[in-house]
Amino acid sequence: MKRTGFGFEIVAQEGGARVARLSTPHGVVETPAFMPVATFGAVRGVSPDELAGLGAQILLANTYHLHERPGEEVVAGLGGLHGFTGWRGPWLTDSGGFQITSLGDRVTVSEQGVSFSSPLDGKRRDLSPEKAIAVQEALGPDFAVALDECGPARLVGEDEDGARRRASAALERTLRWAERCRRAHRRGDQALFGILQGGIDESLRRRSARETAALGFDAYAHGGLGLGEESALREAMVAAATRELPASAPRYLMGIGRPEDLLAAIAIGTDLFDCVLPTRNGRHGNLFTRRGVLHVRNARYRSDPRPIEEGCDCPACIRHSRAYIRHLLHGGESLGARLASLHNLRFTLRLLEDARRAIAERRFASFCSEVRAGLDEGPR
């Protein structure tokens, strides 16, 4: 990356997998890295100090949501995302195209941009590529993301050709918007991600990657995945696109968080991830362990004095039993959701720490096999 204050230095490789140092104006991120999701500028129930303690390096917020509330001018007036939220490390903002598209009937997409009626007040709002960039320049994250058009992989009743035509049209519009975003983007202390589309069609994915890379972005994100497609299909899409991307730029797979999916994507050269899974699963009592998901609300844990996961160094495992966390979740006590989220976040961040170490020591392939075998065993 050529921007001041930024850098991307690959320090180890094993096959497609790589460890790198991603420098930003707000600190270095060791990749592969997982970004906890702070949609509105806060990870659900978790404070900035706790996130640092868990080993989080970079957080993700959402452009659309922060534009709606409190508005980028409020965030900018309080020192941007860093000052507003108290998380002084690096930030990335998603463009919000995906979130807007998920509003369904409320949205119309035209060449100019996206128009939607706000769920907050019902009023009409417009988000063009230029506006998406302007909002992100005001929010001030280290990384902004271009606005994309992201449709469903296949509409109900639609044939394969129809889905492909739609994916192709969305990819072409996303390319035209990418160009407009790149031109609109002025902030020198902010890097810009191009975003790839192409549905679940390998040739479209390749084309999207090739043409987006030709425009020249600081980094690249795989968009429009994690929408229910099979893991193997998704991995094929990511692998196909990755072959067309410059090795010197970070690659980000959006919205993926299952341990086995993270490892598979790392193996084919992905550097960044985000997902709501750790916090959302945590709130529902579904706790990650290296032996698979532990459903702590289950009656069998009613008197279980053990931590969620033996050997885990998270605040929940260090101090509390499965029985206590189960009790809190059953009673709707918010400390329960918080402890469960802390564990799942630490689990995910630790998995990536271990993956980085394994790549650096050239034993990532066997590390992945071990982790996968463990996940299949089921929790004790």
Point out which residues bind a second copy (CB under 8 A). Answer: 40-49, 69-70, 74, 77-78, 84-86, 302-303, 305, 315, 319-321, 323-324, 326-328, 330-331, 333-339
Of the candidates 334, 339, 263, the one whose C-alpha atom is nearest the C-alpha of residue 50 is 339
Secondary structure class of 136 (helix, strand, coil): helix
> For the sheet containing 33-36, what is the strand order?
33-36, 272-275, 251-253, 219-222, 191-196, 143-145, 91-94, 59-62
C-alpha span between 210 and 243 (Å, rounded): 9
The C-alpha atoms of residue 376 and residue 204 are separated, in whole angstroms, by: 34
Is 88 or 258 the residue whose CB approaches a second copy more closely?
88
The reply to whether 274 belongs to the active site is: yes
Q: What is the DSSP secondary-structure string of 338-370?
A: HHHHHHHHHHHHHHHHHHHHHHHTT-HHHHHHH
- Of the candidates 49, 261, 274, 376, the residue annotated as catalytic is 274
- Least spacing, CB of residue 94 vs a second copy, in Å: 17
Supply the minimum distance, in Å, between the C-beta of residue 50 and a second copy.
9
Residue 74 Cβ vs a second copy, minimum distance, rounded to whole Å: 5
Taking the complex as a whole, how short is the minimal distance between the CB of residue 69 and a second copy, in angstroms? 6
Nearer to a second copy, 330 or 363 (CB): 330
Q: How far apart, in Å, are the Cα atoms of 284 and each of 293, 328, 335, 339, 379?
A: 12, 12, 13, 12, 17
C-alpha to C-alpha distance for 146 and 125, rounded to whole angstroms = 18
* 74/214 with CB nearer a second copy: 74
Give the nearer residue to a second copy in terms of CB position, either 248 or 334: 334
Q: Which of 49, 94, 105, 121 is catalytic?
A: 94
Active-site amino acid positions: 94, 274
